[in-house]
Amino acid sequence: MLDDFDNALTQNRSYLLRVARLQLRDVALAEDVVQDTLAAALAARASFTGKSTIKTWLTGILKHKIVDAIRRKQREPVAASTLTEEADLEDFEGLFRDNGAWQAPPSDWGDPERALAQQEFMSIMDFCLEKLPPKTARVFMMREVMELTSEEICKELAISANNLWVILYRARMSLRECLEINWFSGRAQG
C-alpha cells in the first residue's frame, strides 16, 4: 500500500515530466531525468522536512538533474548563428513608440499569482512554450525555471550576454502574446 509520500511522488510525476520535456526537448532523456529525480527523492526521503511542498522539493531536485543532463548532453556549443536568427527584434518594433513606451499597453492580466495555481493556465503556458522556437524555449527555461545565472547560460550555450537578453526578450514577448490570445482574452470574455 502506498503512503502519502509515495502518492505525492506519483501525483507530481506528470508535472516533472512536462518541465523536463520542455527544457530538454528530448522525451527519452526527460523520462530518464524524471526517474533519476524520483529515485533521488526516495533515497532522500528522510531529509524532506516539510518546510516546502513536496512539489517544490521535487522541482529543486529536478533542476539539478536537468542541469547535469544538459552538461552531459552539451559537449558541443550551440551554433551562435542559429540563436542569433531567433533573436531578430524587428517583429516587435511595432509594439513600441519612438520614446520606448508601449503603443498599446498590455491588457490587465488580473491576478497572475492565482492564475499560476490553476491547472488550465499551466496547460496554456505549456502550449505557449511549445510554440516557441526550440532554442529560444530552452534559453527561457534555463533562466526562468532552472534559475541559472546569465553567466551560466552564456557559458553553456557559448553566446554573448547581449544575445541572451535578446533571446529572453523575444521569448517573453512571444509568451505574452500567446497568453493574451489563449488565456487572458478568453477569461475576459467568459
CA distances from 87 to 50, 74, 79, 126 (A): 42, 21, 13, 21
Same domain? 54 vs 143: no
* Predicted TM-score of the model (pTM): 0.52
For residue 46, give its domain range: 4-73
Same domain? 109 vs 58: no
CATH of the domain at 33: 1.10.1740
pLDDT in tens, 50-78: 888 888 899 889 988 988 887 777 665 55
Total tally of structural domains belonging to the chain: 2
- With 50 as the cut, is the pLDDT of residue 189 above it? no
Same domain? 133 vs 49: no
- With 50 as the cut, is the pLDDT of residue 1 above it? no
CATH of the domain at 183: 1.10.10.10
Q: What is the mean pLDDT of the chain?
A: 81
Average pLDDT over residues 164-168: 94
User: Distance (Å, rounded) from C-alpha 99 to C-alpha 88?
Assistant: 20
Domain edge (last residue) among 73, 95, 123: 73
